[in-house]
Amino acid sequence: MIKLYDYPDCPFCQKVRVVLAEKDLEFDIKPVDLRTGEQKAPEFLKLNPYGKVPVLIDEDIVVYDSTIIDEYLDEEYPNPPLMPEDSAGRARVRLLEDFCDNSFIPPAGAILTELHKPEAERDNEKIKKYQADVNRVLARLEVALEGKQYLVDDFSLADIAFVPRVVILPQLGIELDARLHNVAAWIARLRERPSVQSLGL
Ligand SMILES: N[C@@H](CCC(=O)N[C@@H](CS)C(=O)NCC(=O)O)C(=O)O
């Protein structure tokens, strides 16, 4: 049985859970309490020297880093495929996953960190700056989605990378710009998928 070392609110763990659900794979959740620093315990560092979740164990294979885990799962359990068949398409997926990790997840996470603080301690200027960063990413996705249902060919790991934060835009205090029709339709399409619904976001 596959084991997933997981923290419920972690967007990287959520990415992996969507892939497991898409492939209808059974797995055991091993909760790691990031608040008590369990991820830096010697036993956990043996699994992932970076001391971060997610970590996936499949029989005797230990894989960490959500993007690498998702590709591992797609190769090991190819149905349904979540990567294009051609290398150019796969490169486009990887570029978008990298863009998501570098430009989307950090400002979205920073907004949540501020919003979790008591109101008097929040830095509203910071929140506005990070919301502007998120909106810039959404504008770029609008262009990438022109004439398409999903970011690269069929539903893929590129879409999954964005799922955890794109489905909680209202919680980030972001109202989607009415001009972003492609993004709005794409989010609605993502929300229809049982794998995305299984996150309970
Ligand atoms: N690049 C990694 C990032 C994983 C990551 O940053 N996980 C966070 C939780 S969302 C973590 O474990 N943080 C604990 C720490 O850094 O101590 C991935 O994609 O899996």
Helix intervals (H) in 50-193 = 66-76, 87-99, 105-115, 124-144, 157-166, 181-191
Q: At what angle do helices 181-191 and 124-144 cross, to 10 degrees?
A: 90
Q: For the sheet containing 61-64, what is the strand order?
A: 27-31, 2-6, 55-58, 61-64
- Ligand 1 binding pocket (C-beta < 6 A) is 7, 10, 12, 34, 39, 51-54, 65-67
Residue with CA closest to ligand 1 atom 15: 52
Confirm whether 100 is a catalytic residue.
no
The CA 11 to ligand 1 mean position distance, Å, reads 9
The CA 79 to ligand 1 mean position distance, Å, reads 27
Residue type, 32: V
- Give the residue, out of 6, 7, 12, 66, with the most ligand 1 atoms within 8 A of its beta carbon, to mutate for a pocket test: 12
Residue 187 near residue 166, CB atoms below 8 Å: yes
Query: Residue 47: enclosing H or E segment and its boundaries?
Result: helix 42-47
Burial of 33 (0-12, 13-18, 19+ CB in 10 A): exposed
pTM of the model: 0.97
How far apart CA 89 and CA 140 sit, in angstroms, is: 18
In angstroms, the Cα distances linking 7 to 11, 31, 71, 98 are 9, 6, 20, 21
Residue with CA closest to ligand 1 atom 5: 52
The CA 91 to ligand 1 mean position distance, Å, reads 23
Residue 15 near residue 71, CB atoms below 8 Å: no
183-199 per-position pLDDT tens digit: 999 999 999 999 999 99
How far apart CA 98 and CA 104 sit, in angstroms, is: 10
Residue with CA closest to ligand 1 atom 14: 52
pLDDT tens sequence for the chain (201 residues): 999 999 999 999 999 999 999 999 999 999 999 999 999 999 999 999 999 999 999 999 999 999 999 999 999 999 999 999 999 999 999 999 999 999 999 999 999 999 999 999 999 999 999 999 999 999 999 999 999 999 999 999 999 999 999 999 999 999 999 999 999 999 999 999 999 999 999
From the list 4, 6, 10, 145, the catalytic residue is: 10
Task: Please give the structure tokens belonging to residue 130.
Answer: 């990070």
